[in-house]
A and B are shown apart, each in its own frame.
Chain A
């Protein structure tokens, strides 16, 4: 008897906790379909008549097509660059552990703790003529992911048998061929994990564009939403619709890749 009561209590607590975690997303979904008047208090009630046109309105007024394209470009390009470069670095640093290489490894992963100096970075961006350019943002995002990616991939490279490398070297394989044809495919699980984490992180970020992109045509989704909120904060139905369109890709990627994501987070953190 005591056991069943305890079980019911546990389920109730878990349900309440999940409910609290889900309510904000629920609010966004229902309010995105309401009229302006209905959504004024951002309540939990369902809309009387679903206002599907809200989405068309925000896509047009919020310039979401451009913003979506920008976010996609930044996230995909920076992730590809960041993961590839990090994989190359993690691989040689992990395989050839000279004292110098170990130092370089620790030097790079110090970047996980390092805060960005946005002010002097402006000056660097001016020097290399990348300020207010899309390429500049991509490069910055790629650079920002490198310490964590190197950390994650380095640990994974250790688990791959060296015999494979040796066999390939004896067969006369060049370092490039060895890496791209033999090692790279074996790294797939960790590359997917790092890639998903990078994609979500970049999609959600908005500090770098806030500092370094002053043209609204270059803005990603996050900055577009923030700006849209500034203009339409009296109309929560439109803000909700805008927000929902921004988080929809994130939620879809999360649900599809959650196994990689959860295992990757854990591999990175628990392994230490």
Chain B
């Protein structure tokens, strides 16, 4: 009866597209990762672990961009969460009027194309003429002015800063909903016990917001590991390779026609993310059934 009313072939279209364009390429990746597949020859030869050796043991800088990706991911998780949490508390309990207006403005960066955001920030962060350095000089903080995207030491922090600018409002909106779902009684009870302000935040808001913070962390994590647009446009991995991440290197290898290496990298990322995804789904599923 059930299978007649809800025939499985209804799921066929979605499942078919997903299998053909996402699962199949990922599975094929595990074969091509062990080959010398490239754009210069039509032959594809099995080369064993050569690609993995190149990535992990060649000293050619491949480990650097894995480190960059991790640094970017961890840093943006922290900056976005802290800023978003601060703003969310401010907009839910700090203000009555204009809270909705601020929310709409702060979420705006998240709907703009990353590409466009990066282009604008390329000009804002221009060392000589950019708005940021001009502003710093005019208010007498000229010593803080840096060669943001062109300085090896400042490039990665600048990219992280721009990404935080874009993503904090999005995380904030989710946290606001989480805070609004906390029953008012808890705060009243806390107030009777003499806890207000910081104490109420520490002992009521923060613990009850943990499940939502877990979700936003997962969102930031999945985004961070796959970061591409912002790095590609802001620095294209430079200066040198100071801001190269997994996806920008894959694109670079792809454009050079080194498909085997690019696929090996993709497959490593696949394993990491599927592993993470598995834990996340199990975790959320447990929360749901509890």
Looking at A47-55, A56-64, A83-91, the stretch in contact with chain B turns out to be A83-91
Q: Could you say which of B17, B106, B119, B229 contacts A17, with CB atoms under 8 Å apart? A: B106
Count of interface residues, chain B, beta-carbon cutoff 8 Å = 97
Report the bound CA distance from A205 to B228 in whole Å: 11
Report the bound CA distance from A229 to B121 in whole Å: 13
Instruction: Determine if A93 is an interface residue (Cβ-Cβ < 8 Å).
Output: yes
Q: Which of B134-192 contact A (CB under 8 A)?
A: 134, 165, 169-170, 173-174, 177-178, 181
Q: How far is the CA of A269 from the CA of B218 in the complex (A)?
A: 10
- The listed residue with most A CB atoms (<10 A of its CB), out of B112, B247, B259, B270, is B112
Contact with A along B1-34 (1 / 0, CB 8 A): 1111111101101110110111111101100100
Whether a CB of chain B sits under 8 angstroms from the CB of A160 is no
**Nearest CB of A to B126, in Å:** 8
Q: Which of B107, B169, B215 contacts A270 (CB 8 A)?
A: B215
User: Does A5 count as interface, using CB distance less than 8 angstroms?
Assistant: no
Chain B residues with CB under 8 A of A254:
108, 111
Q: Spot the interface stretch: B53-61, B72-80, B198-206, B280-288.
A: B280-288
Give the CA-CA distance A223 to B95 in the complex, in Å: 41
The CA of A204 and the CA of B133, in the complex, are separated in Å by 29
How close is B258's CB to chain A, nearest CB, in angstroms?
A: 9
A23 to B233, CA, bound (A): 19
Tell me the complex Cα distance, A55–B4, Å: 57
Contacts between chains A and B (CB distance < 8 A), count: 270
A175 touches B131 (CB 8 A): no
Give the nearest-CB partner of B270 in chain A: A115
Residue of B nearest to A97 (CB): B2
> In the bound complex, what is the Cα–Cα distance between A205 and B113 (angstroms)?
7
Contact A20 B165, beta carbon cutoff 8 Å: yes
Chain B residues near A (Cβ < 8 Å): 1-8, 10-11, 13-15, 17-18, 20-26, 28-29, 32, 87, 90-91, 94-95, 98, 101-109, 111-117, 119-121, 123-124, 126, 129-131, 134, 165, 169-170, 173-174, 177-178, 181, 211-212, 215-216, 219, 222, 225-226, 228-229, 233, 247, 250-251, 254, 259, 262-263, 266-267, 269-270, 273-274, 276-278, 280-281, 284, 287-288
Closest 7 CB pairs of A and B: A113-B277, A204-B113, A89-B14, A89-B11, A10-B94, A266-B177, A41-B129
